[in-house]
Every structure is written in C-alpha cells, then in structure tokens.
Amino acid sequence: MIMKLRPVTTDANTKGRLGDYTLQAMRPLAMIIAVLALAACAGKPPPKTATDKPAGPVEVVAIPADPFPSTYKPYPGVTTVIRGATVYDGAGRKFAPGMVRLEGGKVAEVGATVAVPAGATVIEAAGKFVTPGIIDIHSHLGDYPSPQVQAVSDGNEATRPNTADVWAEHSVWPQDAGFTRALAGGVTTFHILPGSANLFGGRGVTVKNVLGRTAQDMKFPGAKPSLKMACGENPKRVYGGRNQSPATRMGNIAVDRQTWADAVAYKRKWDDYTRKAKAGTARPTDAPRRELANDTLMGVLNGDILVQNHCYRADEMANVIAMSKEFGYHVSAFHHAVESYKIADLLKAENICSAMWADWWGFKMESYDGIRENIALVHNAGACAMIHSDDANGIQHLNQEVTKAMAAGRRAGIVVPPEQAIEWMTLNPAKALQIDRQTGSLEPGKMADVVLWNGDPFSVYSRPLDVWIDGALMYDAADPNRRPRTDFELGQPGSGDVK
Amino acid sequence: MGLQATRGGRWLPAFAGMTAVLLGTPAAAVPIAITNATVMDGAGHSVDNATIVVDGGRIRTVGPGPAPVGATVIDGTGRTVTPGLVVGMSDLGLDEVGGVREANDTRAAKSPFSAALDVVPALNGRDSQIAVARAGGVTRAVVAPEAGRDIFAGQGALIALREGLDIVTRGRAFQLVELGEAGAENAGGSRTASFTAFRNALVEAQRLGRGRDAGNKENLYPRADSEALVAVVDGRESLVVHVERASDIVGVLALKADFPRLRLILFGAREGWTVADRIAAAHVPVITSGLDDLPDAFETLASTRSNVGRMVAAGVVVGIGTSGGESTNQPRNVTQFAGNLVAQGRLPGGVGLTRDQALSLITRNPAEIFGMADTGTIAPGKRADLVVWDGDPLELTSAPVAVLIDGVAQPVTSRQTELRDRYRDLTRGPLPPQYRP
C-alpha cells in the first residue's frame, strides 16, 4: 500500500495566527488551497463552535512548510560570454570548442557558437574547460566546521535513535572556511546532512555555496528538505553501546518500522483533522498536537521531504526498500553506497540513486567490499550514479574522484565518456535533490552555476579559475577580492592566501 | 605488443602470459628488460625511449639500446616507468579493517608501554591494504603505530610490499612522538606537560644508556620504554615528531640544543611554510600529506596546498606520507597528492612543484629520509623496484600495468578485483553469485 494523499494542510490558513505557533506568509499554492477551502464552504451554514466567534471563513490549522525560509538572494552579475573553451554541459553534451552565455543570472545559451550581445563581458578561454557547478549531495560543512573542536561540532544529535525533529541547518555555522575551499573546487550547491549516529538523524538542507551571515542566507530557494536516515553499524554501535535499542541490525529495522508506523498514525490524525476542519466540523483546538519528529516523517509520507539514506551494504539497502514500500515512501538515494554494484539492477528498478565515493573502502566492516568500479558499474546498469564527499577535503576535488571512478570503469571495460561521467557530480545529484529544473546542467533557463577550469577537469593538474553562482562571479583564483575569507580566518596566518 | 585491457577488462593474452612468466620468478634467473619507455627516474629527470635492464634484483643499465639477448622483455612503448612508489608514512599491514578492533593493530591505548611498542610483530604481509596499495604502484612504505595514551607512539618499520609474509625490511626504524595538540592531550592536557614529559623521558633514557640509572624507582617510564629511547637519544634511531603549528615546529627544532644527537623528522608540519627557512637551516626533513588546506584545528590555521612547494623552495627535503586509513588518504593515492602539488603551481599565487619534483616526493625523498638509499630512484645499482604505467603516473586516469619489487614482478590483483569480476554481470545464473570465482 502506498499512501498517495497529498498535503492539503501545508500553509493553508486564513489567519495569521492559529494555535500555539505563528504561521508563515502564505505561498501562492497555499493561497489557492485556502481559497478553495473557503469556496468549499460557500453556501453551507457556518459551523457551530463552542466559542462566541462570529461565523466566518473556516480556520484550518496547518503545519508551516518552512518556518526558516531562505533569504538567499543572488548577487549581481553581468552578461558574460565564455568563448573557445571545451564545454561539458552536464547533460551529456560536449562542445569542443564551444561557447556559453550567462545573462540575467541564468544560462542563456550554450553551443558551438552563441550570440554575443553588445556590452557583454567576453572571456577568451581557448584551452580551458567549462562545466556546470559541482553539486555535492552529502556534506557536513557548517555542522562539522573547521576547526574541528567540540565547541562547534554540531552534526550528530546522538541522544536518541529518532531525532527526525532536528534540522541540520540549525547547526550550520556560516563562518566555516570549508565553504570557501569547496568553492575553490568548483562546488556551487551542496546538501548538508546531519550525521549518522541515529536511525533518523534529522532534516538536511540544500544550500547554494554563497556565504552569508546566516544559514538562511545560503538556503537554496524552494529546495525540498531531506530526512537523513542511517543503516548499519553506526546506530547499532551508538545505542547498543549504551545497552539501548537498537543494538543490532534487526533492532535497526524494528525501531525504524515502529517509528514509521507511528508516523503513519500521526499523519492519519492530521489528515482526519484537516478534512473535518475544511468541512467546518473541527475547531482549531481540535488540531493534533505538533510532534516535530513526526512532522518530518509525515513530510516524507506526503512527498515533501526526500529520504537520503546512509547505507553501505547491499542487503541492508534491500531491507530498506521493502520497508519503504510497507510505509509508503520512496528513498531518493542511498549514501556511502559502497555495495550498490551488487544490486545495481534493483536500484535501477526502484529508481533510487546511489551516492558513492570513488575509492573509500575498508575503514569499517560495512565498507570492506568497496571497489573503484562501483560508480561505473551502477551507471552501466542504468541506475542513477553520483559522487559524494562526506568530507571537507574530498568536496574540494570531486572532479578528481569522478575521474578515478571513470578510469577504473574504463579499465574494467565500461567506457563512460567524460561528457556523461560529469553527470555524476552535476545533473544526477541535482535530480536526487529535485533541483534539476533549476541547476545541474548548462541548459538555457537554468541558474548560471558555472565553473571555468584552467584545464581539463578530468586531469589532476586542473583547478577552477572562475566560479559563477546565479550568474554572479563568486570566485576568481586571480582576484583576492573574489576569494571569500570567513570571519574565522581573519587575522590568522596565511589568511587570504590562495589555498 | 600492447599491455592493454580489452573492453572486457581481461588482459591481452600476451601480457597475461608474461605476467605468469614473471610472477614468482627468482630474481636472479633471467634478466628483465623494459624497452622503449619514458623513464622518470625519481631524481628529477625524465628521458624518452630508454631501456632498463634488470638482473639479480638490481637495475643494471638505463639508457638507449635494445634488450640483451635472452632477457624477458616488457615493451614500454607508450608507457612511463617510475621507481616504485615509496609512501613516507602509513599504517599498511597494521589494520585489515580500520573500524574492527580485532583487525586493527595501529593503536594500543590500554598498554602500559609506549616507546617500546614495536609494529614488527603486528605487521601482516597478507593485509588486503597491502595488495591494494601494491596494485596502485606502492612498493615500499614507512609504517608507524598511532599514539595510545602517551606522547610516544612506539617504533615503526620499513616494509616492502612484496607478495607474501616477508615484508619487513627494517624494524625499529624510528620512534614516533606526538608533540602537538594530540601530544598535549596525552601528556595531561597541555604542551607544558608534553614537552616536559618528552625531556624527562629522554633524560631517563640517557641515564639508562650510561648505566647509571638502572632500577631507579623514581623513573616515570617503564624500563622497556627507556631502553627503546636510548637509541633515539643516541641518534641511532630517527625520531619522527608529529607537530603542525609553527611554534611547535620551532620548539622541536630547539630540542637539538639539549639533545644534539637527535635525528629529527617532522611529520605533519602544516604550518611549515611559515618557518621553512628555519626547518631548512636545521636540515630536518618533513613528511606531510600535501593536500590539507583547511584550518581544521587551532594548530593548522595556516594550512595551504602551497605548503609543500614553499618548503621545497626553501630547501627543505619533503616526502609525502598519508595519515593512515582507507578513505581519502590511501597510500595508493599518493600519485594524486603529487599531481595536485603540480596543479597548485599553476594557480595564480600558488606555489607548486614540477612533475619530476612531485614524483621525487613519493619516491626518492621518503626513501632517503628513512635511510633507504638503494631504492626510490632509477639508476644502475639500485634495487629494481619499478612501476610501468599506462599513462602519466601522476594522472588520475593512469594505473600500473606492471610492478616489480627487487626485480620480481608482483601481482596487481586483490580481493577488490575479485569482487569486481564477480558482480560485473548481475544476470541470474545457474547458481548464486557466491559460486562464481
């Protein structure tokens, strides 16, 4: 049984204040729903209530979609044409040489030649390469920032196996120098996840790699949050070590399933309340008590929150897939999926992406079977393959990790050309984050998230020269004024250096 | 003859046959000639169209000319030959699976001993990590223990990554001590304690070495630890000091005033570039990883990928080591580290290395730093530790097609290649995958 009930509760309200929490400004969709709710009441007698409130519009208590909305605003850019470079568009095409035009913060045109408007900044880039900005779907930057001291180590709320109530964005320290190093590596978007101590680690957040004064300044507008889940060794070790459940893999699944069963019940209560409230037969005080962890889980069941599931072993992924069907949700991606190559056919059939390292293996038992051909084998099976870092250093050279994976595949007889392999770090993670309509490739109308490399990005000798985000030049290796320094770095030795 | 993988991933028969001939061949039996190859010698030079003749486990000649009659020939056309890679620091052979306590001998936090700890009995030549690193071209490595509860981690060894159990080429090759943040913590919570503990330990060892202090009940270190430190204080064994912060580096260099025979090697030294002239003047070599550029600790605030380039420019002898583990810092990835040091020099304001320089940081330099003068370069008389690459050895797309240690061709397979072959085709067969090879 798969629950397909769509949320009608999201932001739909007719009042600015209901219950014991403040509601956010209504989004357009929410307004439509609110209007429909009112329309549905037209012609009916006003509901009788126990209060003396005059009859009026129906009040439907709803859970705000995002009480911490993005305050990201693109910085100004200029119309820019990059000419003469080899262009990988991130969607399977290569132009050698090619041209790219960025205009109004968007990719305007890509091809062998593009129009050059009067007044455009033209970059002669013969011998250089252009790619979409890199997207890392698994980062803990900001939550485990530099320096790695306990005082700012905020990535794992390892106090109970279900902490679906916590949000990674509330731990993000905007002064993590890791953001700047990732930018110098060509990363324009990444997804910050809670750690994996817990079965339900909390919500992850997608950010643009544009530094700001707050985490909200970085939030990718409109990107769905995720629910971080974890299989395997970490949860059972953390809680088993405290003589608490889960202490085994069967315990992991048992606690998972009970939690999902409770979430389904929570959703039923809200759905029931909402239906009655819209029909005018429930009062605001009848709204179920908010349970923040269940809010997140219900968001998953409603399709508003994506599941990003830390899971190394093939057999555990299969267990999770079965569980997801039992409770009616879909896993967006398995992360650290070192054994995806063993079940690449299943992952294709289930339309689940795998976020993988190029060659990490053996650092723990569940990573013992990692192989360098993993990504190529998953790709070759027709499943969605992605690189990911999970690491403040690794995020700086994801292009190199993709290259190692591509080369290992080629030696094993799986030839994935660069124009396809690049999707492992651009379009595919965009898809798994459901932001592929906005970014992830150089296609007209998409965000102008672009990297100009000083050489072939599939070479160890190449580094980004320029990085644009939403058309704004946010990094220039040659210009100290276009290389951000976090507050933490000010006054420190080597501050402002090319790193 | 092309030593190329086919589309199916099988080696061409010619190479497979040759491998079979070479594998396990006694080093003295038949000369081996690698012909018509580009040779990067690890000492800063590259030549094209060279032939390397190997006999008796040693390199005999390097130069133009044909293979000697009767030699087993490896066609190096289109290939690059380098010295076998030498990893300046690692935990190779000490842990099969990092996170599995039973299979990890890197650290002994509950032991009453520290400096006396010796990795040799823990080293396992059949460790899968060794096979994986060897397939990546690593032929020699420095292996160190990790510090447990003391500042002294114990004694490390030098190994050859040859197939089989006999990998140790020198035990008790050096002592490792922590004198940065980790040392401060282990010594009781502060650098005041770690440097005091260090001086005290060396004084106790000095007294023991002079036969004056045997059985002194006031000694803080067990006798076995002091005995191990006698060789350090006498300068017979190198002392590898892990520090990162510039002030710690300066403090370590100053130790020679009180203990003049110390043979210091700095490990880490992320802020080394800020005091590179002092390190160079003290003639103290450095082992570092090269890619770390984050202020990820208060002792690494000045981190930059230009660290190595700037130290080399100042005259410091630098070798690349890994901080252990099977994630980013794998020994097989030292070529990636070296390649990135070249890339750093191509950025405006960055300081990097040439390709030949970078190669020497993963061959000659670590070999020299740890007293392995007979390996790490390609020259007549040197050990025939050689890697034949299918492309630029520092490039991410390249891989070894042949690895020789002491003139003996080594396997470049591992359980990883077996896993790959088992799951290459997921089509349901007559039997479960566990029945496949």
CB A300 within 8 A of CB A227: yes
Strand-pair partners of A475: A467
Q: Are residues A43 and A190 in the same domain?
A: no
- Burial readout A75-108 (b: 16 or more C-beta within 10 A, e: otherwise): eebebbbbbbbbbbbbbebebebbbbbbbebbbb
Q: Is residue A275 part of a domain?
A: no
Instruction: Please write the tens of the pLDDT for every residue from B397-418.
Output: 999 999 999 999 999 999 999 9
Residue range of the domain that includes A414:
133-255+293-436
Partner residue facing B348 (CB), from A149, A372, A498: A498
Which of B396, B413, B421 to substitute to test the interface with A, most A CBs within 10 Å?
Answer: B396
pLDDT at B324: 60
Q: How far apart are CA A3 and CA A326, in angstroms?
A: 10
Chain B partners within 8 Å of A488 (Cβ): 295
Last residue of a domain, one of A67, A98, A120: A67
pLDDT at A3: 33
Q: Is residue A497 part of a domain?
A: no
CB B277 within 8 A of CB B249: no
Q: How far apart are CA A460 and CA A476, in angstroms?
A: 19
Q: How far apart are CA A402 and CA A134, in angstroms?
A: 11
Shortest distance, CA B390 to any CA of chain A (angstroms): 11
Cβ-defined contact of A415 to B398 (cutoff 8 Å): no
HSE of B331, CA atoms in CB hemisphere, 13 A: 29
Domain count, chain A: 2
Closest CA to B151 of B206, B194, B201: B194
Cβ-defined contact of B100 to A499 (cutoff 8 Å): no
Which phi and psi angles does B172 have, rounded to 5°? Answer: 45, 50
**C-beta pairs of A158-161 under 8 Å, 24+ apart in sequence:** A158/A195, A158/A197, A158/A198, A158/A238, A160/A198, A161/A198, A161/A199, A161/A200, A161/A235, A161/A239, A161/A244, A161/A245, A161/A246, A161/A255
Q: Are residues A225 and A302 in the same domain?
A: yes
Instruction: Please write the tens of the pLDDT for every residue from B44-100.
Output: 999 999 999 999 999 999 999 899 999 999 999 999 999 999 999 999 999 999 999
DSSP alpha helix (H) spans, A279-415: 292-301, 314-327, 344-349, 374-380, 398-411
Q: Are residues A249 and A391 in the same domain?
A: yes
Last residue of a domain, one of A67, A92, A118: A67
Q: Is the dihedral of CA B106, B111, B116, B120 positive or negative?
A: negative
Q: Are residues A332 and A199 in the same domain?
A: yes
The CATH number corresponding to B85-375 among 3.40.50.1400, 3.20.20.140, 3.40.50.720, 1.10.10.60 equals 3.20.20.140
pLDDT at B290: 87
| Residues ≥6 apart with Cβ < 8 Å to A101 | A79, A80, A81, A82, A107, A108, A109, A110, A114, A115, A116, A117, A120
Q: Is residue A95 part of a domain?
A: no
Q: Is residue A97 part of a domain?
A: no
Ordered per-residue pLDDT tens for chain A, 499 residues: 333 333 332 223 323 323 222 233 333 333 333 333 333 334 444 444 444 454 567 899 999 989 999 999 999 999 999 999 999 999 999 999 999 999 999 999 999 999 999 999 999 999 999 999 999 999 999 999 999 999 999 999 999 999 999 999 999 999 999 999 999 999 999 999 999 999 999 999 999 999 999 999 999 999 999 999 999 999 999 999 999 999 999 999 999 999 999 999 999 999 999 999 999 999 999 999 999 999 999 999 999 999 999 999 999 999 999 999 999 999 999 999 999 999 999 999 999 999 999 999 999 999 999 999 999 999 999 999 999 999 999 999 999 999 999 999 999 999 999 999 999 999 999 999 999 999 999 999 999 999 999 999 999 999 999 999 999 999 999 999 999 999 999 999 999 888 9
pLDDT at B19 over 80: no
Q: Is residue A73 part of a domain?
A: no
Last residue of a domain, one of A394, A416, A436: A436
Q: How many CB atoms lie within 10 A of CB B192?
A: 11
Instruction: Please write the tens of the pLDDT for every residue from B131-181.
Output: 999 999 999 999 999 999 999 999 999 999 999 999 999 999 999 999 999
pLDDT at B7 over 70: no
Shortest distance, CA B413 to any CA of chain A (angstroms): 12
Closest CA to A345 of B426, B424, B434: B426
What is the DSSP-derived secondary structure letter of residue A270?
H
Structure-token pair, residue A457: 């990005």
Phi-psi region at B11: left, alpha or beta (left = phi > 0; alpha = psi -120 to 50): beta
Beta sheet of B238-243, edge-to-edge order: B85-90, B138-143, B152-160, B168-178, B238-243, B264-268, B286-288, B318-320
Q: Does A389 touch chain B (CB under 8 A)?
A: no
Chain centroid to CA A489: 27
Cβ-defined contact of A361 to B326 (cutoff 8 Å): yes
Average pLDDT, rounded, for chain B: 92
Closest CA to A62 of A28, A115, A16, A98: A16
The secondary element (H helix, E strand) that includes residue B182 is: helix B181-187
Cβ-defined contact of A373 to B292 (cutoff 8 Å): no
Shortest distance, CA A147 to any CA of chain B (angstroms): 4
Question: Peptide bond before A147: cis, by omega within 30 degrees of 0?
Answer: yes
3-state secondary structure of A122: strand
Cβ-defined contact of A360 to B326 (cutoff 8 Å): yes
Which CATH number is A209's domain given? 3.20.20.140
The average pLDDT across B185-202 equals 97
Its ipTM equals 0.93
Structure-token pair, residue A465: 């020269």
Closest CA to B342 of B303, B377, B385, B312: B312
Q: Is residue A82 part of a domain?
A: no
Give the residue on A whose Cα is nearest the Cα of B246. Answer: A493
Cβ-defined contact of A492 to B6 (cutoff 8 Å): no
Q: What share of chain A is helix, strand, coil (3-state, %, to 5)?
A: 30, 20, 50
Cβ-defined contact of B305 to A178 (cutoff 8 Å): no
Using pLDDT thresholds of 50, 70 and 90, give the confidence band for residue B29: confident
Domain boundaries, chain B: 13-83+387-423, 85-375
Cβ-defined contact of B327 to A357 (cutoff 8 Å): yes
Structure-token pair, residue B57: 């486990």
CB B42 within 8 A of CB B360: yes
Shortest distance, CA A158 to any CA of chain B (angstroms): 19
CA distances (Å), origin B70, targets B3, B17, B32, B66 = 20, 17, 9, 12
Q: Is residue A166 part of a domain?
A: yes
pLDDT at A58: 81
Chain B partners within 8 Å of A360 (Cβ): 326-328
Cβ-defined contact of B301 to A494 (cutoff 8 Å): yes
Q: How far apart are CA A246 and CA A235, in angstroms?
A: 7
Cβ-defined contact of B396 to A407 (cutoff 8 Å): yes
Q: Dihedral through CA B114, CA B115, CA B116, CA B118, nearest 10?
A: 90
Q: Are residues A50 and A183 in the same domain?
A: no
Q: Does A318 touch chain B (CB under 8 A)?
A: no
Cβ-defined contact of A345 to B426 (cutoff 8 Å): yes
Q: Is the dihedral of CA A9, A11, A12, A15 positive or negative?
A: positive
Cβ-defined contact of B396 to A177 (cutoff 8 Å): no
The interface residues of chain A toward chain B in range 142-161, judged by CB-CB distance below 8 A, are 146-149
Which phi and psi angles does A159 have, rounded to 5°? Answer: -115, -15
Chain A partners within 8 Å of B330 (Cβ): 359
What is the DSSP-derived secondary structure letter of residue A342?
G
Q: How far apart are CA B37 and CA A436, in angstroms?
A: 47
Domain B13-83+387-423 is found in CATH 2.30.40.10:
yes
Closest CA to B401 of B3, B75, B7: B3
Which phi and psi angles does A420 have, rounded to 5°? Answer: -95, -40
Cβ-defined contact of B327 to A497 (cutoff 8 Å): no
Q: Are residues A350 and A236 in the same domain?
A: yes
Partner residue facing B294 (CB), from A181, A410, A463: A181
Q: Can you tell me which residue has the tokens 């589309």? A: B7
Partner residue facing B302 (CB), from A344, A407, A494: A494
